[in-house]
Structure 1
Amino acid sequence: MANNNSTLGRSEWYIMEKLWEIAPRTYVQLCHELKENPGWSRSTVQTMLERMTEKGVLRYEVVGRAKHYYPNVARDDVAMAETRSLLDRAFEGSASLMMSTLVRKKQLTKKEIDELHAILEEAEVPK
């Protein structure tokens, strides 16, 4: 697996979503799917696959004449790295500052607040 501190650009997410959903996928399969959304050409897909392989977030195996692409990072690991990056950049590394900002700006629904309560209760260490 690649570095757990991997963050992805917006374009990289398109490819990773496809591969986290079903892997492996060939270059042709990815070209077909990414042509429809987000509308990429074959050369764009090729360039992205090469860059992401060099970056270490993808790997491939050659089967016959086709490259079969696999994610080389777990979705949860990328989500954690992205979350940490957001917290560090926008909230001085503080999850509580992020939450208080969302609460002050009334960006949380009642359901989300209830879910957060349940998560925090589960996280509490018994005394």
Structure 2
Amino acid sequence: MAVAEMHHITDAEWEIMRVVWTQGTTTSKEVQQILNQKTEWKTTTVKTLLGRLVEKNFLSTEKNGNKFIYRSLIEEKSTIQLATTELLEKICAKEVSSVVKTIIAESYLSFEDIEQLEKVLAAKKESAVDVVLCNCTSEQSLYQQAN
């Protein structure tokens, strides 16, 4: 499925997808057992969320005896990239660096991660501008200046 064709994914659906991506293939019972470490979702909740993800074409399902096997139809990396793009589209362009700084400050990073970030920043410096222009409407800009 093309990333552009994907529907919105809820926070609860993200939790399910993270399990499926990690497991490769899984059952509703396995999903519930894994998520029981951090949620108190009932079996019906897990099955409802799995069903929604199948309807949205995020997951495929096949019957195997008396259980259903779930498999992701989308890559984790492309889904994360889409979510990141959607986040950045929601905020003022002038605030992007603040968001990136917060993500870096609040994340666990390996030395390799930091080296990759440094390379990206060095390359980005080649096309940097003196001032990032606001991409908000005039009314949004006036509101932000007042607050």
Alignment TM class, shorter chain as reference: 0.7 to 0.9
Q: Quick one: distance in 2 between partners of 1:38 and 1:87?
A: 29
Q: Tell whether the 8 Å contact from 1:35 to 1:41 is kept in structure 2 after alignment.
A: no
Cross-structure match for 1:38: 39
Deviation at 1:121, TM superposition (A): 3.8
Name which structure has the greater RCO, CA cutoff 8 Å, separation 6+: 1
Deviation at 1:51, TM superposition (A): 0.8
SS at match of 1:36: coil
Q: Which runs of 5+ in 2 are unaligned?
A: 106-110, 127-147
Q: Which runs of 5+ in 1 are unaligned?
A: none
**TM score, norm. by length of structure 1:** 0.75
SS at match of 1:79: helix
Cross-structure match for 2:10: 9
Q: Tell whether the 8 Å contact from 1:61 to 1:67 is kept in structure 2 after alignment.
A: yes
Deviation at 1:27, TM superposition (A): 1.7
Change (3 A) 1:42 1:98: same
Cross-structure match for 2:135: none
Percent identical among aligned pairs is 24
**TM score, norm. by length of structure 2:** 0.66
Q: Compare CA radii of gyration and give the structure with the larger one.
A: 2
